[in-house]
Amino acid sequence: MKGLVIKNTGSWYQVKTDDGQFIECKIKGNFRLKGIRSTNPVAVGDRVQIILNQEGTAFINEIEDRKNYIIRRSSNLSKQSHILAANLDQCMLVVTVNYPETSTIFIDRFLASAEAYRVPVNLVFNKIDAYDEDELRYLDALINLYTHIGYPCFKVSAKNGHGVEAIRKALEGKITLFSGHSGVGKSTLINAILPGIETKTGEISSYHNKGMHTTTFSEMFPVDEDGYIIDTPGIKGFGTFDMEEEEIGHYFPEIFKVSAECKYGNCTHRHEPGCAVRKAVEEHLISESRYTSYLNMLEDKEEGKYRAAY
């Protein structure tokens, strides 16, 4: 029997079978994906084959080939990965310039990982109702930056509904992962899009200006026109996984484009003479914040360790 994994609670997976049943499943035996050391070998969005048992539950015994997935380094196991979701049409990365602050390094790490696995990303700038004039100017500067690179951006207030309809329209007929820091309003936004869902929302910790985790497991929710939203727990840091040092520049589209003009084919864009990328940064054709994120990821690879990006 075949089906779609629509919920993951850690030890149990809920599978919607192709004939419309909802069955609680466990992984059969020491099940692991070939070539991937993952803390969650089965992810929401996976197509699977299951074997029913007498108790009315089932075992997952096979995963069908994935179209793509979003993956990050597991924060407590530096050599293992955590798959956020699989078989995606797009991702909505919900970010806030304050309450809590989402750093450009975090955004760029997420975007680079999505580029590596061919997942289109939209940036959703939430809480526009809460910002002062300086914060709104900074927000508009970020939107200008990322739109110019090629990432669609949305300005929304999940709290008062501003911009929510544009998000809802962008979800039609697509499987969409919602991700971001805890506290950025992801659950509030999903509640505004799907009023009957009522996912939990939490307060911001004023001490650290960081959100409190409210979603404790991943789950898919159907939306109009054959689409799905995948809601996942908020993530604090985003450590990239399974990315070679020489590949990192490929996942920054503007750096990759300019790198063709570098004097050396294996240019790291740090100190080599005739580097077109550094020249473009000096001439403000490539953003300093993006170049800093690129260097930050290179340093991670050289040090061989996970560094959380907040």
Q: Which two tokens stand for residue 61?
A: 């015994």
**Annotated binding residue at 271?**
no
Residue 82 CA to residue 43 CA, distance in Å, equals 9
**Residue 182 is assigned to a ligand binding site:** yes
Is 129 a known ligand-binding residue? yes
Q: Which residues of 175-203 are buried (b: 16+ CB within 10 A; e: fewer)?
A: bbbbbbbbbbbbbbbbbbbbeebebebee
With CA atoms as reference, report the closest residue to 135 among 181, 99, 83. 99
Quick count: other Cβ atoms within 10 Å of Cβ 13?
27
Question: Is 227 assigned to a binding site?
Answer: no
284/144 Cα distance (integer angstroms)? 14
262 is in an annotated binding site: yes
What is the spatial distance between Cα 147 and Cα 45, in angstroms, rounded to a whole number?
Answer: 28
Contact residues for 257 (Cβ-Cβ < 8 A; gap 6+): none
Answer yes or no: is 18 a known binding residue: no
Question: Is 293 part of any known ligand binding site?
Answer: no
Query: Distance between the two ends of the chain, CA-based, in angstroms?
Result: 42
Is 121 known as a binding-site position? no
- 57 known member of a binding site: no
Does the annotation flag 91 for ligand binding?
no
Q: Residue 25 annotated as binding?
A: no
Query: Which residue reads 């950025």 in tokens?
Result: 184
The residues pairing with 155 across neighbouring beta strands, listed in sequence order, are 125
Distance of CA 309 to CAs 38, 75, 84, 171, 240, Å?
Answer: 20, 11, 17, 28, 10
Q: Is 269 annotated as a binding residue?
A: yes
Write out the binding residues for Zn(2+): 262, 267, 269, 275
Write out the binding residues: 126-129, 180-188, 262, 267, 269, 275
Write out the binding residues for GTP: 126-129, 180-188
